[in-house]
Amino acid sequence: MILFAALATVLAGLLIAWLLWPRRARGEVSARDANIAIYRDQQSELDADLAAGKITADDQQRARRELERRLLDDIGVGESAAAPGRRALPWVAGVSIPVAALAVYLVVGSPRMIDREAEHAVTMQQLESMVARLAAKLRDNPDDLDGWKMLGRSYTAMRRFPEAADAYARAATRAPRDPQLLADFADALAMARGQTMQGEPEKLVLRALEIDPNNLKALALAGTAAFERKDFDGAARLWQRMLPLVPPGGEDARAIQGNVEEALAMKGSKVLRGEVRLAPKLKDQAAPDDVVFILARAAEGPAMPLAILKKRVRDLPLSFALDDTLAMAPGGKLSLFPRVVVSARVSKSGQAAPQPGDLQGASAAVANDAAGVRVVIDSVVR
């Protein structure tokens, strides 16, 4: 038992280092693939245990049911919106696999239980089938808190964020003071609402921090929310609170420190603020889900946008803030060009390049740190 616990700890450490690697090169496996590979190995050992008489057929069947759920759980962990501060989160996934194996060990006496049917491959179709079975089970047993949590993680892994948010909401009604659940709920809700933490997602995270001020995911997401609001001091303070909670000098600590430094570097950056409206005469030509691009270009200089935001018509009228965090390239930052023009375009096709039938408008040339800039979308691209 002690040896297995030690091996599980080593496995967790290896997974933490791997999951925190900042970029995924072509040919590397995903976290999902790594989890599946580990399970396949456990499956082979399970067969050997069963053949050798170390476990019974009943033990195997019980483990199959348990670890199908665990497999969904492990695959679902670690999927999070890509935003400043969130790249520090994936180490959370590293502990789930050894913990799951240890849980099965305590139940049936072996850490190597897994469904034989998944040995060849766990395809997306199989995953969807398992998720569908879990959803069906929850319809008959709606008070299964762990089931709702797992369903939320599974939908997140499948990038079905509205369904994930709904599953987490159902779990949260049954465990309103579970800080990790609230953080997971906030993450899925933010993704479902256009990858923004503003509004209800941030409220959920702040509630999680009231319950547990040291919840790592809640701190990371709260920092992301502050960063989105251009509260760079606030973001840095929240992310700094994470550092004492992780091993010093490790990959996770370095990732968090990188976020802190990025936020502090943005404190003195130029911010261009204003409002975009759609002219009443064009309202009938825009659907609520049409994409709106808001961008700043140098009044005299390169044609490439210096900063760009992507919203929806339903968000109009909206206040915007453009700065160097929205730059398209390192050499094309807003702060490098004193005079800029802000334009907004409703893209009927969703493409960044203008197309006939798009709706557009632009400001006069303004300073790159101007406030109160007004842009009215009042013409049609011909």
Rounded distance between C-alpha atoms, residue 106 and residue 1, angstroms: 9
Enter the DSSP assignment of 367: E
Architecture (CATH level 2) of domain 2-265: Alpha Horseshoe (1.25)
Residue corresponding to tokens 């800039």: 373
The separation between the first and the last C-alpha atoms of the chain, rounded to the nearest angstrom, is 73
- pLDDT tens digits for range 142-172: 998 988 988 888 888 788 899 999 999 999 9
Q: Are strands 373-377 and 366-367 parallel, antiparallel or unpaired?
A: unpaired
Give the pLDDT score at 37. Answer: 45
- Please state the domain extents for the chain: 2-265, 272-380
- pLDDT tens digits for range 226-264: 988 888 899 999 999 999 998 888 888 888 888 888 888
pLDDT surpasses 70 at 9: no
Whether the Cβ atoms of residue 46 and residue 60 lie closer than 8 Å to each other: yes
Specify the CATH number for 272-380; select among 3.40.1280.10, 2.60.40.1120, 3.40.50.280, 2.30.29.30: 2.60.40.1120
Binned at pLDDT 50, 70 and 90, residue 326 comes out as confident
Rounded distance between C-alpha atoms, residue 325 and residue 308, angstroms: 10
In this prediction the pTM is 0.57
Rounded distance between C-alpha atoms, residue 221 and residue 202, angstroms: 8
List of residues 6+ apart from 237 with CB closer than 8 A:
none
Rounded distance between C-alpha atoms, residue 181 and residue 108, angstroms: 28
Enter the DSSP assignment of 308: E
Phi, psi of 170 (to 5 degrees): -65, -40
Binned at pLDDT 50, 70 and 90, residue 38 comes out as very low
Rounded distance between C-alpha atoms, residue 298 and residue 338, angstroms: 8
SS3 203: helix
Least confident of 6-15, 123-132, 260-269: 6-15
Rounded distance between C-alpha atoms, residue 230 and residue 271, angstroms: 9
Which of 127, 202, 206, 197 lies closest to 160, judged by CA? 127
pLDDT surpasses 80 at 80: no
pLDDT surpasses 70 at 13: no
Least confident of 14-18, 188-192, 364-368: 14-18
In terms of pLDDT, which residue wins out, 213 or 57? 213
Span 287-312, average pLDDT: 90
- If you average pLDDT over each of 20-24, 97-101, 196-200, 300-304, which comes out highest? 196-200
